Amino acid sequence: MTVKFKSGRALAAVSITPLIDVVFLLLIFFLVATRFAQEERELDVSLPSASDAAPMIEEPRVVMVNIDRDGRTYIDGQFLSVDEVERLLRRAKTNNPLNQSVTIRADRRVAFEHVSTVMNLCSKVGIRDYRFATAGEEGTE
């Protein structure tokens, strides 16, 4: 038993006019919206200057704390006392309150007391993301 379809009536009932109307409306909307965005940037506005202004949040930067075999602490190649390290970590936490991280690079011959001091300073200023750098299997960091 074969089924016969009358395809002539089904295609005649589908109208694409509303679809074309919607496409044209979307096109007009995006053209107008783009023009308004351009006009916002083209306005001649004299902006005020701020000579002492600083960004509230800086680009996230990892603080590298190096501890040599004698237990001396270096940051950016400069020897720092415990108080100076705390001050620098506190400033870094203030600049990046949500995602400041610290990497501790300690000589393997240093007493753990010095590493523990840096860890305590991180916790004291509120930095929870601190990591230890270790040498890989080939001796590279």
55-67: per-residue pLDDT in tens? 555 456 789 999 9
**2 within some domain:** no
CATH of the domain at 67: 3.30.420.270
* Co-location of 37 and 67 in the same domain: no
Domain membership of residue 122 (yes or no) is yes
Q: Which residues pair with 64 in a beta bridge?
A: 103
Q: Which residue has the higher pLDDT, 8 or 84?
A: 84
Mean pLDDT over 21-31 rounds to: 90
Q: Are residues 32 and 78 in the same domain?
A: no
Residue 30 lies in domain: 8-42
Tokens of 62: 């990892």
pLDDT for res 141: 44
Residue 52 covered by a domain: no
Does residue 71 share a domain with residue 110? yes
pLDDT: which is higher, 3 or 53: 3
Rg (CA), the chain: 32
**50 has a pLDDT exceeding 70:** no
- The conformation of residue 40, written as its DSSP 8-state character, comes to H
When divided into structural domains, the chain yields a total of: 2
Q: Decide if 137 is inside a domain.
A: no
74 with 107, same domain: the answer is yes
DSSP state of 16: -
Under a CB-based contact definition with an 8 Å cutoff, are residues 63 and 96 in contact?
Answer: no
Q: How confident is the model at residue 6 (pLDDT cuts 50, 70, 90)?
A: low
Considering the domain boundaries, does residue 113 fall inside one?
yes
| Mean pLDDT score, 113-121 | 93
Residue 137 binned pLDDT confidence (cut-offs 50, 70, 90):
very low
Asked if residue 98 is part of any domain, the answer here is yes
Same domain? For 71 and 22 the reply is no
More confident residue, 91 or 98: 91
* Percent above pLDDT 90 for the chain: 30
